[in-house]
Amino acid sequence: MNLLRRHPIAIALVALLLVTAIHALPPLVDAVTGSPPGDVELVRPALYVILAPLSDTLDALTFLSLERARWALAVWALALAGLCASLVNGTFAVILTGLFPTRVRFSGVALGFNVAFTIFSGTAPLVATSLVRATGMNSAPAFVMVGCALVTLASSLGLPRSGRGTSFGAPPS
């Protein structure tokens, strides 16, 4: 309630933006005939409906003070990072558990995850520092991330589609 008293304009803007993003388009009519033209697409794209509140909210930040805008941008960035991480972690857990039969699933997941995490998280600072020193570019650690993404993509192409012998494709026993 205190938030409503302190920021009525910001809350009204957010509510207005959400309503305008979700509300259907008004009918488009020809000014002369009064009938809808036949060659006009009247359906709002789904991507617009999804991204319009974000775009509108970022536009509304221009009306805030610089300090408040930084805070709001930080919240948006953290929310976006959390969304991306949840998408990755959710599929990662399902794929990882589907790679092992039920009898050894816990051991297989624990051993595989922890060994890989130890090796790669332990050497990442050394590799990143060496790349920065060798190339002279501060963005050189991004090459490591691109390399990891390519290795992940290549290895994901070799995953079984049905989870042969695992809980994905096997009938319940």
Q: Where are the domains of the chain?
A: 102-173
Alpha carbon distance 137, 135 (integer Å): 5
Task: Say what the pLDDT of residue 44 is.
Answer: 62
Kindly report each contact of residues 155-164 with a partner whose C-beta sits within 8 Å and lies 24 or more positions away, as own/partner: 159/95, 159/99, 163/98
Give the pLDDT score at 130.
92
- Helix or strand holding residue 137 (H, E): none
CA distances from 67 to 72, 73, 78, 139 (A): 9, 10, 17, 28
Residue 24's region, left for phi above 0, alpha for psi from -120 to 50, else beta, is beta
Q: How far apart are the first and last CA of the chain?
A: 54
Contact assessment for residue 42 and residue 27, using Cβ atoms and an 8 Å cutoff: yes
Is this model's pTM higher than 0.85 or not?
no
CB 31 within 8 A of CB 40: no
Instruction: Quote the CA–CA distance of 46 and 52 in Å, as a whole number.
Output: 10
Instruction: Note whether 90 and 98 are within 8 A (CB).
Output: no
Q: What is the mean pLDDT of each run of 10 residues along the chain (173 residues)?
A: 71 71 61 66 65 69 67 80 80 78 87 88 89 90 86 80 52 50
